[in-house]
């Protein structure tokens, strides 16, 4: 058991030894909540709230924080709803800084959640906060805190991508894979390895390196098939495989993979990530099908609307403008929507420059 979970496991064992059923229930609530989060994220968050209420009643502050922390974590990864999430993530950070939580075993997870909220809300606007947060987490990592280390690796790769530094992102991802391969607990390492494989798919696609995209998507699919909890990752890996097959001219195989990816994603209760829409739109763009590519992006907008993902919503509105410009269907209200979205960001200049390019049908620089 990892050091960042050992205290909670020991607590459960001690509660069981004393016959304290209520305290023994705390860890079980957490385990049950995270049983099938991709299929029923609302149930997951409801159970985490239930756990917090029980922990408060029992006056167990570390357990209260654990459930508060995982409520933020679950909202990020399973509901992908960032409205008001910055406040909740910051409250957890401020709480874990108090002396009572000086030895709280998952303290760095809380900082990583705040980094994720910044990255998914406005990565350029919060760039300095992200850099400072990553430096702090890196300085606090101790031996045995490998989960926190892997979460930080992932955030570094994503931040480099948001900064449009793909070479750096690729180097960081390859380094992360090497570290994962050294881990004695390959079950845990496998969980983080899947996401790194999928990030390498995104990087390969941005570079138009089709051979690497084919290779990484196959590896990602194989990794994602290792556990039933990786349904979202499997759908994304299959969509990247569809893109690679479409580029290679393997139309029937590409269509089969695309159908499989869509079917799997539609069965889930969680909305797709932006990577999935990038892959799905890329599949149709390779076929020269701008109307279908636009429909994919419009569907993405519906998943982003009023969810607090300000930068991503702006980027997709800009891409919709580009596609409409290519099709001769660009209207003033489309441009106004993208411009309005850019003005909500703390540093809108890059997005406004991308919008200028999009108006002439020019594709902005890829991630």
Place of tokens 């084919």: 214
Checking if the pLDDT of 178 tops 80, the result is: yes
Model pLDDT, residue 234: 97
**What confidence category does residue 321 fall into, taking pLDDT thresholds of 50, 70 and 90?**
very high
Average pLDDT, integer, range 229-256: 97
- What is the spatial distance between Cα 114 and Cα 306, in angstroms, rounded to a whole number? 20
- What is the spatial distance between Cα 166 and Cα 156, in angstroms, rounded to a whole number? 12
**What confidence category does residue 350 fall into, taking pLDDT thresholds of 50, 70 and 90?**
very high
Checking if the pLDDT of 204 tops 50, the result is: yes
Model pLDDT, residue 185: 83
| Enclosing H/E stretch for 145 | none
Query: Model confidence over 18-52: pLDDT tens digits?
Result: 999 999 999 999 999 998 788 899 999 999 999 99
Model pLDDT, residue 36: 78
Query: Model confidence over 136-155: pLDDT tens digits?
Result: 999 999 887 788 999 999 99
Model pLDDT, residue 122: 98
Which tokens belong to 335?
Answer: 């441009």
Average pLDDT, integer, range 75-82: 94
**What confidence category does residue 1 fall into, taking pLDDT thresholds of 50, 70 and 90?**
very low
Checking if the pLDDT of 367 tops 70, the result is: no
Please state, as a whole number, how many other Cβ atoms lie within 10 Å of the Cβ of residue 108.
23
Average pLDDT, integer, range 232-250: 98
Average pLDDT, integer, range 286-311: 96
Give the start-to-end residue ranges of the domains of the chain: 1-118, 299-367
Model pLDDT, residue 118: 98
- What is the spatial distance between Cα 105 and Cα 39, in angstroms, rounded to a whole number? 28
For the purposes of burial, counting CB atoms within 10 Å of the CB of 75, is it exposed (0-12), middle (13-18) or buried (19 or more)?
Answer: buried
Query: What is the average pLDDT value for the chain, to the nearest integer?
Result: 95
- What is the spatial distance between Cα 38 and Cα 235, in angstroms, rounded to a whole number? 12
Cβ(338)–Cβ(307) below 8 Å? no
Please state, as a whole number, how many other Cβ atoms lie within 10 Å of the Cβ of residue 360.
10
Helical segments of the chain, H only: 3-18, 21-33, 41-57, 61-74, 85-96, 107-121, 127-140, 146-162, 166-182, 186-206, 210-224, 231-247, 251-266, 274-286, 290-304, 310-327, 332-343, 349-358
Model pLDDT, residue 345: 98
Average pLDDT, integer, range 331-347: 98
User: Global pTM?
Assistant: 0.94
- What is the spatial distance between Cα 87 and Cα 90, in angstroms, rounded to a whole number? 5
Query: Model confidence over 55-73: pLDDT tens digits?
Result: 999 999 999 999 999 999 9
Query: Model confidence over 261-289: pLDDT tens digits?
Result: 999 999 998 899 999 999 999 999 999 99
Query: Model confidence over 97-135: pLDDT tens digits?
Result: 999 999 999 999 999 999 999 999 999 999 999 999 999
Which tokens belong to 110?
Answer: 């809380």
Checking if the pLDDT of 2 tops 70, the result is: no
Which residue would you say has higher pLDDT here, 364 or 89? 89
């Amino acid at each position: 058991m990892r050091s960042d979970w050992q205290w909670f496991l020991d607590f459960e064992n001690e509660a069981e030894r004393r016959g304290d059923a209520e305290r023994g229930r705390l860890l079980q609530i957490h385990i049950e909540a995270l049983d099938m989060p991709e299929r029923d994220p609302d149930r997951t968050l409801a159970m985490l709230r239930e756990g917090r209420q029980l922990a408060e009643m029992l006056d167990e502050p570390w357990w209260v924080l654990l459930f508060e922390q995982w409520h933020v974590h679950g909202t990020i990864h399973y509901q992908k709803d960032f409205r008001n999430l910055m406040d909740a993530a910051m409250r957890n950070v401020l709480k874990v800084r108090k002396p009572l939580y000086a030895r709280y075993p998952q303290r760095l997870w809380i900082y990583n959640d705040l980094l994720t909220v910044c990255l998914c809300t406005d990565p350029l606007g919060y760039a300095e906060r992200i850099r400072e947060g990553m430096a702090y987490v890196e300085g606090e990592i101790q031996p045995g805190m490998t989960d926190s280390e892997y979460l930080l690796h992932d955030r570094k790769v994503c931040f480099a991508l948001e900064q449009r530094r793909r070479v750096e992102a690729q180097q960081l991802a390859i380094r992360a894979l090497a570290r994962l391969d050294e881990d004695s607990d390959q079950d845990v390492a496998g969980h983080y390895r899947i996401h790194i494989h999928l990030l390498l798919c995104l990087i390969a696609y941005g570079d138009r390196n089709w051979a690497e995209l084919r290779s990484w998507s196959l590896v990602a699919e194989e990794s994602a098939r290792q556990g039933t909890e990786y349904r979202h990752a499997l759908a994304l890996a299959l969509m990247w495989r569809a893109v690679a097959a479409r580029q290679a001219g393997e139309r029937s195989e590409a269509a089969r993979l695309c159908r499989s990816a869509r079917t799997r994603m539609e069965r889930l209760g969680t909305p797709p990530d932006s990577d999935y829409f990038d892959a799905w739109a890329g599949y149709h763009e390779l076929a020269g099908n701008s109307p279908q590519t636009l429909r994919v992006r419009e569907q993405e907008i519906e998943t982003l609307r009023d969810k607090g993902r300000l930068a991503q919503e702006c980027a997709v509105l800009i891409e919709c403008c580009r596609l409409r410009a290519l099709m001769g269907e660009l209207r003033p209200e489309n441009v106004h929507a993208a411009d309005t979205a850019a003005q909500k960001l703390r540093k809108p200049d890059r997005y406004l420059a991308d919008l200028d390019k999009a108006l002439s049908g020019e594709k902005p620089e890829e991630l």
